[in-house]
Chain A
Amino acid sequence: MSIRERLSGNEAIATAMRQINPDVFAMFPITPSTEIPQYFAQYVADGKVDTEFICVESEHSSLSACLGAEAAGCRAVTATSSAGLSFMNEVLYVAASSRLPVVLAVSCRALTGPININHDYSDSMAERDSGFIQLYAENNQEVYDNYLMAHRIAEHPDVRLPLMVCEDGFITSHAIENIELEEDAAVKAFVGEYRPENYLLKKENPLAVGPYGVSGYYMEARVAQAHAMMNAKKVILDVAADFEKTFGRSYGFFESYRMEDAELAMVIMGSSAGTAKAAVDELRAEGVKAGLVKIRVFRPFPGEELAQVLSGCKAVAVMDKSEGFSANGGPLYAETAGACFNLEQRPKMVDIVFGLGGRDFTVEAARSVYGRLEQIARTGETGPLYTHMGQREA
């Protein structure tokens, strides 16, 4: 039986962590850490978990400590945001290439500068090529559900990759909303125990991790890692299928919202997708064939599946909530356009960078995007492919 509750995104993640009771939680206790370790510290103090809770001096160290724990055969977790994630950068790659399935909760926030603490995907998108699996969420419920699925995906023998559970900073992390929690025993049964085949001090065959790999090995190691990311696609769907069977909520690589016969579509992520859904509903009521695709899994990127869903559209707007400074559009646009390139019949596609540093995204703003798409579909002219929205203009 689900439990009706109201929690913030951070409380939801901390609750999932308590239910899973990981072996090790290593964390940096000062901003830009999140409230997650703060809530978890209370669980430790109250004896609700028997996790080894380690305070370290930086995010570089918190993830490093997690890697040591994972190599020793433990289930290790941590949480961070913004500049804290950037400071982990070097170790993210070590985690992924060492194939240590640490689960990292990220409250996605802007990077400096100017100095800003609010939401966008500057931090997580900067780490999209680190080798981490990345799951994104529209609201606290999806954050919680993603977290319950995270360890099973990351630890699967065909995958063995670290995983980021991403939530929208403040908009999700600090917003209290209704949520359906699952019972502790049901969560424990679903997530299961972590029993890696090999670990550092295994008596029969002690393990060495992170060796030097000269040119004669590096390419092979990277190809193997790339295949692990490809393997993750099947595992993500398998775990989602079991999740639906167990808890009743359905997840895929992305959510197709009113896409059946959609001609105008938005590709979007996170809480903004919820706001855009309200615009889609309004437009549908007015007879406009609008739809949207909300990306849940950004790594591995579900290119083929996404292209299939978009193939019937006339015009698509890809909504990037991070500025990649490529002078050619944001990361979500690059992935989506690339995925659609080999379609026999492909939609017109533009990129819109929006919502940076907490710039609010409203239902009206979403409607204006569909207005632009309608014009593109009607005239066949895309206009500039790469634009920004929501900024003041001279």
Chain B
Amino acid sequence: MIEIRWHGRGGQGAKTASQLLADAAFMAGKYVQSFPEYGPERSGAPITAYNRISEERCSVHSNIYDPDYVAVVDETLLESVDVTGGLKTSGAIIINSAKSPDELKPHLRGYAGRVCTIDAREISQRNLGAYFPNTPMLAAVVAVSGCVDREQFLKDMEESYRHKFAKKPQVVEGNLKCLREAMDEVRYGA
């Protein structure tokens, strides 16, 4: 079982990103959980969302305290939230940032595991002409965690986009490029 914790701010789509990841894993035949933790329901307030991805149905419904992976949708959270709390050193943290892993490592309270960054803004602007951080973040988490096979993931997502954007087929290619390029452009720290 792979356990993932998402950190974002209300309105940025961390909950949606966790749902998209659950979708991708579901399409690949897995058992999934995607659930948010609700604090103050306010735009901009820090929020947490979770994923469990497994081969069998998971009956545990607690929050996740020792995740395998952490995804941070907004790097300004690094100062205010203990994003690496409980994160397994065998896992990794994936941060949406234009900075390199080495630049961010000092802000991670001594986390000894792998640090990855992805410039979701740039990739999204380049392919979609607007800032949708979820698509590149989703691809980066899949690439780093390996929770879904890459080719299977891209195939399932294409099918999903063709269905979702049936009335706007022109945006399918941009989203797919966004996924592929994000998977290739993850920067892996030591």
Contacts and interface: CB of A to CB of B under 8 A. Distances in A.
A6 B22 contact: yes
Interface string A103-129: 000000000000001100000000000
B67 to A, nearest CB: 14
A278 B22 CA distance: 22
B59 A176 contact: no
B61 A178 contact: no
B35 A175 contact: yes
A278 B35 CA distance: 19
B62 A361 contact: yes
Contacts of A271: 61
Nearest to B33: A177
B65 A362 contact: yes
Interface string A175-186: 111100000000
A362 B36 CA distance: 16
B124 interface: no
Given A6-B22, A178-B26, A275 B35 contact: no
A139 B32 contact: no
Contacts of A174: 35-36, 38
Given A6-B23, A362-B65, A278 B36 contact: no
Interface in B27-67: 31-36, 38, 41, 57, 59-63, 65
A272 B32 contact: no
B38 A117 contact: yes
Please indicate which of the listed interface residues B32, B35, B36, B57 has the most CB atoms of chain A within 10 Å of its own CB: B35
Nearest to B62: A362
B61 A272 contact: yes
B33 A274 contact: no
A70 interface: no
B97 interface: no
Size category of the B interface is 10 to 19
Contact of A363 (B31, B33, B38, B62): B62
B22 A275 contact: no
Nearest to B54: A178
A277 interface: yes
B134 interface: no
B19 interface: yes
Contacts of B65: 362
Nearest to A281: B59
Contacts of A272: 61
A93 interface: no
A52 interface: no
B61 A170 contact: no
B15 to A, nearest CB: 9
Contacts of B57: 177-178
Interface in A61-99: none
B61 A139 contact: yes
Interface string A361-390: 111000000000000000000000000000
Interface of A: 6, 117-118, 138-139, 168, 170-172, 174-178, 271-272, 274-275, 277-278, 358, 360-363
